[in-house]
């Protein structure tokens, strides 16, 4: 059975901030480089909070389905502690944020952290840091070996797909989503399924954490998805299938799947 009825995230919760945080020191944290490159951030005594600004990044260089963003791992053991994925999707005039660990922000104790860029192209990711140091820019370096792979597709009105996610390992993140948007959009329907195997047979859909975003440009776009954190999907091969529909002379529908294979 296909999974439906995904929960919409209330954007008001994202855009609001506690009064206490307004009084804390804050500064922009900018990470620039190529997908797969990393930079190290040293957090002093007292710690810090990294925030992922929502709906402020411009669309990434590339078509719908282009992926960017950053993951944050502890240097000493490679543990993932934070990060956000950025997506270009139909009907949205800015890149969408999907936070990977914590919603909206991540608290970092004192220590050293590796920030690795997602996607494949050159990009700049803007974060906000509370609690230490003036504005800083990190330039990612090293081999540009992407830790992100995925598939995407778009179609006028109805997008129907069945695509392999490939081999999923124990420590991988998987993000799968679909939606539609455009001028004069009249309707929106989506049904998505992530299942074990390589063909859409009888294997049941695996439930993930629901992700919902709306509205896009002109209030006429919507996007829903499922986020699978490490350990939710057993190691093996998986398939992402479904359909997304929209009605309107300028409507576009599309889907994106992203696998983030973390390096230790």
The pLDDT, as a whole number, for residue 133 is: 63
Q: Which residue has the higher pLDDT, 203 or 259?
A: 259
Mean pLDDT of the chain: 82
Q: How confident is the model at residue 243, as a pLDDT?
A: 87
Contact 226, 3 (CB under 8 A): yes
Q: What is the pLDDT of residue 188?
A: 46
How many Å apart are CA 138 and CA 38, to the nearest integer?
9
- Is 54's pLDDT higher than 90? no
Closest by CA position to 254, among listed 63, 95, 86, 55: 63
Decide which of 2.40.50, 3.40.50, 2.60.120, 2.30.30 is the CATH code for 11-139: 2.60.120
Say yes or no to pLDDT of 152 above 90.
yes
85: closest CA among 75, 66, 98? 98
- Name the band, by pLDDT with cuts 50, 70 and 90, for residue 215: low
**What is the C-alpha to C-alpha distance for residues 40 and 165, in angstroms, rounded to an integer?**
30
Domain boundaries, the chain: 11-139, 148-260
Read off the pLDDT of each residue in 21-37 and give the average, rounded to a whole number. Answer: 80
Higher pLDDT, 248 or 66: 66
The yes-or-no answer to whether 11-139 and 148-260 have a common fold is yes
Give the CATH number of domain 148-260. Answer: 2.60.120
Exposed / middle / buried, residue 215 (Cβ in 10 Å: 0-12, 13-18, 19+): middle
Question: Which of 135-139, 180-184, 198-202 shows the highest mean pLDDT?
Answer: 135-139
- Whether the CB-CB separation of 259 and 164 falls below 8 Å is answered with no
Q: pLDDT exceeding 90 applies to what percent of the chain?
A: 48
Residue 213 pLDDT: 72
Say which range, 1-10, 160-169, 250-259, has the weakest mean pLDDT: 1-10
Place 52 in a pLDDT band, splitting at 50, 70 and 90: confident
Cα four-point dihedral sign 243, 190, 178, 225:
negative
d(CA 149, CA 132): 34
Distances (CA, A) of 162 to 87, 100, 133: 20, 24, 47
pLDDT at residue 8, rounded to an integer: 33
- Residues 173/230, Cβ–Cβ less than 8 Å: yes
Cβ count within 10 A of residue 181:
28
Q: What is the mean pLDDT of residues 241-258?
A: 83
Q: Which residues contact 13 (CB under 8 A, 6 or more apart)?
A: 104
pTM of the model: 0.84
pLDDT at residue 16 tops 70: no
**Res. 135: pLDDT tops 70:** no
Rounded Cα distance, 255 and 60, in Å: 16
Per-residue pLDDT at 2: 40
Query: What pLDDT score was predicted for residue 186?
Result: 47
Give mean pLDDT, residues 93-120.
91
Task: State yes or no: pLDDT of 262 exceeds 50.
Answer: yes
Q: What angle do CA 211, 64, 93 make, to 5 degrees?
A: 75
Residue environment code for 64-97, b if the CB has 16+ CB neighbours within 10 A, otherwise e: bbbbbbbbbbeeeeeebbbbbbbbbbbbbebbbb
Q: How far apart are CA 37 and CA 27, in angstroms?
A: 23
């Amino acid at each position: 059975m296909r999974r439906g009825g995904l929960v919409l995230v209330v954007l008001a919760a994202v855009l609001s901030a506690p009064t206490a945080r307004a009084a804390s020191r804050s500064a922009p944290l900018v990470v620039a480089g190529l997908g797969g490159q990393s930079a190290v951030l040293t957090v002093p005594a007292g710690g810090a909070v990294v925030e992922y600004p929502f709906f402020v990044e411009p669309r990434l260089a590339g078509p719908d389905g282009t992926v960017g963003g950053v993951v944050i791992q502890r240097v000493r053991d490679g543990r993932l502690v934070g990060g956000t994925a950025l997506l270009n999707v139909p009907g949205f005039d800015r890149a969408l944020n999907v936070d990977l660990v914590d919603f909206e922000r991540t608290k970092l104790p004192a220590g050293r952290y590796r920030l690795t860029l997602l996607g494949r192209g050159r990009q700049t990711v803007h974060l906000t840091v509370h609690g230490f140091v003036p504005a800083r820019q990190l330039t990612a370096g090293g081999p540009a070996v992407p830790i992100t792979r995925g598939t995407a597709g778009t179609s006028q009105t109805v997008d129907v797909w069945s695509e392999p996610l490939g081999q999923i390992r124990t420590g991988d993140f998987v993000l799968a989503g679909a939606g539609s948007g455009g001028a004069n959009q009249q309707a929106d329907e989506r049904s998505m399924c992530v299942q074990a195997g390589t063909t859409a047979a009888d294997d049941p859909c695996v439930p993930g954490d629901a992700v919902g975003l709306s509205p896009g440009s002109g209030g006429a776009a919507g996007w829903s998805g499922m986020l699978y954190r490490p350990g939710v999907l057993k190691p093996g091969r998986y398939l992402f299938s479904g359909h997304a529909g929209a009605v309107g002379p300028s409507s576009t529908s599309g889907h994106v799947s992203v696998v983030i294979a973390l390096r230790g």
